[in-house]
Chains A and B, each alone.
Chain A
């Protein structure tokens, strides 16, 4: 595969805007970056790709002065630099456009851009000078910004351009864009790429962090792949394919098809038809999603975070309102039913953020057992909480689900993440649900606990439980699902057969490189 190389790839004598040489960064208990080497040629768009958790953000923080490398060095224009704060980076001509915009909604574009570097005489703001400079920047780089527009009224694409203008205003020659297309619709992505080409033609260098492989290939001049904190290699976008990139990102892992019994029954438990959700800007977050889940079936949805899975889960739980569509549980229309009603009807929920959505951290374990189930046995007796019964049941859950804890009276925050998750899984399965919505059920959980949770889900499935599984862990998806769909930008774009699909096939479908039936 000539398109893929390992180790440093800079052509000797090339004009390098920035060079990362042997950089390592450690945090307590984990190595975020290990001996990373990247060479970025001046005047190019250099993409850095990797999965969530691969170490991209830490690397970028070091380039921007928010962290310092433990080993190795960073060279800008050939000279080693040591940044102690973003101010140093800005002074060296490095500008960062964050994934989550840092803008003041109630300020104008102009005020947002000049904040902290205001043109002034004796403290008095020189609006005219600022306006002129912004207009010049806007024309030179094709940003089309109106300095007096209120940021609150701007769409996402425009806001991103304001962030870009912020760094250009401060004289950045090297731009770092962190997941810039994560929040853009395809048309806005095209506009962004046009802007990037403009910037390139003016001699600026751009580092572009992403895991959307199809986009990366279309706009980058060079690609560096990072996996688990190490540089895996570089690629030439002109010749590499999405699949090859996906394989580098994810690692080639052969599928381990499990000979599992077919537990899928005929009865349809969950039926979703035409589900559509729009956000406050009118953009489609979910478009016309329809699917059925049968009893005894695990329905897996694969997709990069932020493509509508979260909103789908919220809609199914009744936490978020929908624009159109119908949801039925065992034939009963629950579209208008409250969250509480849905839980009572038999929907269990393992939320993706256990600390924010699944637990009362300062409350004891047995109180957490009651959370979400304060309308059903064994926790209640009439209008009262049945403490003794709840405590007994909590002890049972602790035993059956192997929750490591000194007792059921400790506060939930004293437990490790894995044990917290086991408690939640135990709680939800104990409610005898007919449908279990499991979002990232083993995120942040150690290997042992993960296997245990999978076992419990499989057992429940064998007794007829339907499961909607949302996960970023491809192993988990492939290993647990009976049906597998890929979601991208709010639509189902591909189906996969869990028995035969490989992780990289799935990965490339998730990033839009392939659609339809995957393997």
Chain B
């Protein structure tokens, strides 16, 4: 039998149901793997005692024939952005140093209700601001993959971000799956960099209650997993209406895994001309072409579409997201929780607390956000960006008249070496060029590992669906996954 940590969530669930092993055995296998992979720096806190207790409770339920469903007994990692009662929850920021919430986020509460087991909290870019997991106050997370050739050969690589710890943990088989959050690509980009599946649901599908806020009109929780089916199973466990989040949508949660029929003969797949961008490496273009061919061969109709405002999504995002961040992060004043650095007076205390508590990238975005919201500049920057956002959403609405899903690359490159792009914010922002438009429009999107770069690193393909079209999206992703047959290991 293969190692327990090699099993997908679906396979592990079957094994548990068949009595092949217990949740405790499965959890112990993951805890051992977690210890052995500490050099990745993926976790900010390991919770082995809680994990064992949760696993034992799961075994007790199963023995009584009361297993809660496919996630019962499945060991998961949770991004440090979700508030978990009693467990460190800091958004990997010094300003929340030592913060242990006295409440549980809705998404994690849903997962525990479904029987899942918490292995630990995973590192992330500070306040989810980053694409390389280098802004975490706990230091960089390493990608378990290594390049076999090229400039990055042998070097430590970034796992992507901001959900870099979660992606690295799943890729290294230290967790069966992990929660992430995606504001402009923070699930999908690290998913692609680490060779795993990353799903960002429709805005409103998962409750944001108890998630540490970055940009509230964009933030959305989702799973990072080995397979598309696992993503479907995890999403079903995370999603649902929550009266505590006023933007949570009151729609039933479908059986997402049942949507994976493998049949896409009725689907029209849109290929947007504007995603052919200057400077995109030929191997990314080639993989995209290959993805189109795979879906065509599976019986889908391929449709050329146009999303004319694609190139403006990223600059508009870098107004909207910092603006919302500057407002959301105003709460960190050193008075009620987190770090306090005493100053000469109250204002000085605020200013020194925030100067020491926030890292450089967070400060930069708070300052940009403060500026674009300030008197005299609000219309020129913020309202302009929100109008452009309407244009972007309208592009997609038009596209849905001629297609059912859209296929693009996930990222413009494979994972890069630690230290690269560090001094050029805009070069770092460009990582999200293919993922941000769907975020701006609130649409669901998924990255599926589809092949290896010339240097032996994973590359992802990206599917975008219409609002609440997760079932169609997952169905297409499942076909892509089967066709790609990605089975490379770090």
Same complex:
no
